[in-house]
Structure 1
Amino acid sequence: MEFNMSLVGQMITFAILILFTMKFVWPPLTKMMDERAKRIADGLAAADRAKLDLENAEKKSADKLREAKQQAAEIIAQAEKRAAQLVDEAKGNAKVEGERLIAGAQGEIEQQIQHAKETLRQQVATLAVAGAEKILQREVDAAKHADMLSSIKAEL
């Protein structure tokens, strides 16, 4: 009987241990496991959200990069167009300046030609007057000859 009593005592002790464990030990353990499962689930959800956010950020960065490249290409095209305009303007300005310089030089040449003609005319007139004076020194009426020489000088 000792075997039975000892078995019954062990069974009662085991039952008390099970009741104690179910009442005091098991609820905190299940609570900790539930909390840990919840934390793991939240972490997985956060990882999924982070993965989606990363994909969205990569798409946005690719779009921004494409837009930046397009803007850079447009800016380069505009700069090239402006450079061509500046070159054309410079050519036009240089042509106008060259024409102005040529016209100025031609005007100066014309002035020098006129001056040379006038100088030559004066020299011819002086020579004519000198020749006429020599001729007139032989003739008597100096006033008539002076009038004639003035008219000849004016014509030349």
Structure 2
Amino acid sequence: MNLNATLLGQAISFVIFVWLCMKYVWPPLLALLDERRDEIAKSLSLSVNAEKELQIAKANGQQLIDEAKQNASQLVEQGNQRKAQIIAEAQAVAGQEKERIVAQGLGDIEMERSRMKNELKEEMASLVIECAQKLIDKNLDTSTNREFVDKLIREI
């Protein structure tokens, strides 16, 4: 066997093998690579879009959080104002009730004072009559004594 014939046979086999690979193997591989490249490019663009949307969502989320905080602080402030208003109303009602109770107490005291004054006058009249009877040692009728004592009390 000749080295040149073997080499020539191997070269022809290699060329046929390369031609077959280029005709049947290489195009599907290139198609797969192109498809994969397109898929990667598409994924990259989607990830960029997703990142932009994430940034927008973060900004919107922060804005919503800020608005919620502001609303919460407004509600707390309104609650504090309402609390102060209720306390003021309760103090006003309590003040009015206090004045009413004091006025009623003063009225009761005045009535009791008048009643006691009248009782004292009557008791004093009885005591004066008894004293007068003992001093005079004369038996005057009770109506005359009563008129006399009433006159004295009025003068006092």
For normalisation by structure 2, the TM-score amounts to 0.77
TM-superposed deviation, 1:87: 2.0
Paired residue type of 1:118: N
Runs (5+) with no aligned partner, structure 2: none
Q: RMSD of the alignment, in Å?
A: 2.9
Distance between the aligned counterparts of 2:138 and 2:7, measured in 1? 187
Structure 2 residue aligned with 1:99? 99
TM-superposed deviation, 1:129: 4.0
Aligned residues: 151
2:125–2:146 contact (8 Å) kept in structure 1: no
TM-superposed deviation, 1:3: 8.1
Alignment partner of 1:121 is 2:110: no
Q: Which stretch of structure 1 is more off in the superposition, 58-67 or 125-134?
A: 125-134
Paired residue type of 2:65: L
Deviations 1:40-68 (A, max 9, x none): 11220221121012112101111111111
Distance 1:138 1:3, change over 3 A: closer
Runs of 4+ in 1 over 2 A off after TM superposition: 2-15, 127-139, 145-156
Between 1 and 2, higher relative CO (CA 8 Å, sep ≥ 6) is seen in 1
Runs (5+) with no aligned partner, structure 1: none
Alignment partner of 1:52 is 2:59: no
2:125–2:149 contact (8 Å) kept in structure 1: yes
Distance between the aligned counterparts of 2:62 and 2:138, measured in 1? 113
Structure 2 residue aligned with 1:75? 75
Paired residue type of 1:94: A
